[in-house]
């Protein structure tokens, strides 16, 4: 028996309502959210999706990639999209799936790495300490041990130390093409050589850098290769919902070959969709439609131009910080700028009290600023002015 609705709206509603009333109530909550285009969000690795992706998402809103008999067209769109991403990553014959994000992709990669080896609690994966915490999640979920190696002075994998961490229990190596904390790009070619020498599975987490590095390299930026052109790379995570300008959720796991993906193939009870190669069973075809639309709307040239503008804004931010005598933790390789400051948590709190959403690099105790497509020169000029003023305030003015 239902009771009177709770004042906070937490109980299941007794009665039906109207579209207008529900959307008005929802709008009250959504109005609390920050809006990217206002230029005050400087911590987010995601941004507003491209309009064509939004429209494609809307058109495919009802589709389910978990049922390819009902949605054969959406299934074909996913397959084409993964092939296009594979082509971008140096392997037109690559295969994989669009998934919820980098976390699911990394879990699937490690599942492929360990295959049917047992006992799992004796298996180890080696990764630098800068690896994304989703790899910690993956190791915990799969019941394997994650061994972390040191990083160098620019917070990239120390390749020699990583190699020394390999033992007879090691089944895989994970490295990062653009850490989410600092945007550091590991020396993927050197690590691929280590993986090959030890006959180990090698997964590259390019959730952040996957839709930046290919285009930045085309612009002449000195960044290492990270893709299937390197013989030792077995799988790659990319996130179209980050710098690929697709709506959330849109991650992607790409395997070098069907042989690699077959290790994560699970039998289904249903006719038509006989096997699943993702963690999710019901999956949004809208995400596949959106990624397909954005990739084909922009093409390589369009992404190069977007990356050119993004790096121009990043360099403008760096110049403003230097003009105001702020020092950087490391020179930025991609889109993340880390600023040294006294008591960064205090500075972060002051910024947020003034309407700026920045973040911290917790391990390095630096202010972390993420440059994305919604940020323009004028936004960052105001941000650096606010940072300079607030960082100079005495500690007692913090609250």
- Domain ranges (residues) in the chain: 37-49+300-392, 51-297
Sign of torsion over alpha carbons 338, 342, 344, 350: negative
Confidence of residue 124 (pLDDT cuts 50, 70, 90): very high
Sign of torsion over alpha carbons 129, 175, 239, 47: positive
Q: Taking 50 as the threshold, does the pLDDT of residue 112 lie above it?
A: yes
Q: What is the pTM assigned to this prediction?
A: 0.95
At residue 48, the pLDDT reads 97
| Gap between the terminal Cα atoms of the chain | 47
What is the per-residue pLDDT across 149-173, written as a single tens digit (0 to 9) for each? 999 999 999 999 999 999 999 999 9
Highest CATH level, class, for 51-297: alpha beta
Distances (CA, A) of 75 to 63, 78, 79, 285: 9, 5, 6, 7
The residues, ordered by sequence, that sit 6+ positions from 278 with a Cβ below 8 Å of its Cβ are 97, 99, 104, 108, 264
At residue 3, the pLDDT reads 56
Q: Taking 90 as the threshold, does the pLDDT of residue 339 lie above it?
A: yes
Looking at 250-254, 299-303, 377-381, 389-393, which range is the least confident one? 389-393
d(Cα 168, Cα 165) in Å, to the nearest integer?
10
Yes or no: say if 225 and 207 are a contact pair by the CB < 8 Å rule: no
Mean of per-residue pLDDT scores for the chain: 94
Q: What is the mean pLDDT of residues 51-68?
A: 96
Counting Cβ atoms within 10 Å, is residue 168 exposed (0-12), middle (13-18) or buried (19+)? exposed
d(Cα 289, Cα 58) in Å, to the nearest integer?
9
Query: What percent of the chain is predicted at pLDDT more than 70?
Result: 97
d(Cα 370, Cα 380) in Å, to the nearest integer?
11
Confidence of residue 262 (pLDDT cuts 50, 70, 90): confident
CATH for 37-49+300-392, among 3.30.70.100, 3.10.20.30, 3.30.70.1250, 3.90.1150.10?
3.90.1150.10
Of the candidates 262, 255, 194, 185, the residue with the CA atom closest to the CA atom of residue 224:
185
């Amino acid at each position: 028996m239902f009771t009177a609705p709770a004042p906070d709206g937490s109980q299941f509603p007794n009665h039906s309502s109207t579209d207008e009333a529900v959307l008005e109530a929802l709008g009250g909550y959504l109005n609390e959210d920050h809006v990217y285009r206002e230029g005050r969000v400087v911590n987010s690795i995601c941004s507003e999706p491209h309009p064509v992706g939004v429209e494609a998402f809307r058109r495919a809103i009802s589709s389910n990639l978990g049922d390819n008999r009902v949605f054969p067209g959406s299934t074909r769109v996913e397959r084409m999209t993964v092939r296009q991403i594979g082509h971008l990553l140096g392997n037109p014959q690559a295969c994989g799936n669009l998934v919820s994000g980098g976390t699911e992709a990394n879990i699937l990669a490690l599942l492929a790495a360990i295959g049917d080896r047992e006992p799992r609690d004796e298996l180890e994966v080696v990764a630098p300490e800068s690896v994304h915490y989703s790899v910690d999640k993956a190791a915990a979920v799969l019941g394997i041990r994650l061994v972390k190696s040191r990083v160098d002075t620019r917070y990239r994998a120390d390749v020699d130390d990583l190699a020394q961490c390999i033992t007879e229990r090691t089944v895989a190596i994970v490295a990062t093409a653009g850490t989410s904390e600092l945007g550091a790009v590991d020396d993927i070619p050197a690590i691929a050589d280590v993986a090959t020498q030890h006959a180990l599975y090698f997964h590259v987490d390019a959730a952040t850098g996957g839709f930046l590095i290919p285009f930045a390299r085309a612009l002449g930026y000195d960044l290492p290769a990270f893709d299937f052109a390197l013989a030792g790379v077995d799988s790659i995570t990319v996130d179209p919902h980050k710098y690929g300008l697709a709506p959330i959720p849109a991650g992607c796991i790409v395997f070098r070959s069907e042989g690699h993906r077959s290790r994560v193939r699970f039998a289904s009870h249903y006719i038509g969709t006989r096997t699943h190669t993702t963690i999710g069973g019901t999956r949004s075809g809208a995400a596949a439609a959106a990624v397909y639309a954005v990739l084909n709307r922009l093409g390589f040239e369009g992404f190069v131009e977007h990356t050119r503008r993004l790096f121009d804004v990043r360099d403008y931010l760096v110049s403003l910080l230097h003009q105001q005598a702020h020092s950087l933790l490391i020179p930025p390789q991609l889109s993340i700028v880390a600023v040294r400051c006294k008591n960064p948590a205090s500075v972060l709190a002051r910024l947020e009290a003034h309407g700026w959403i920045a973040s911290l690099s917790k391990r390095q105790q630096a202010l972390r600023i993420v440059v994305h497509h919604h940020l323009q020169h004028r936004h960052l000029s105001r941000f650096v002015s606010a940072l300079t003023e607030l960082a100079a305030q005495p500690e007692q003015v913090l609250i």
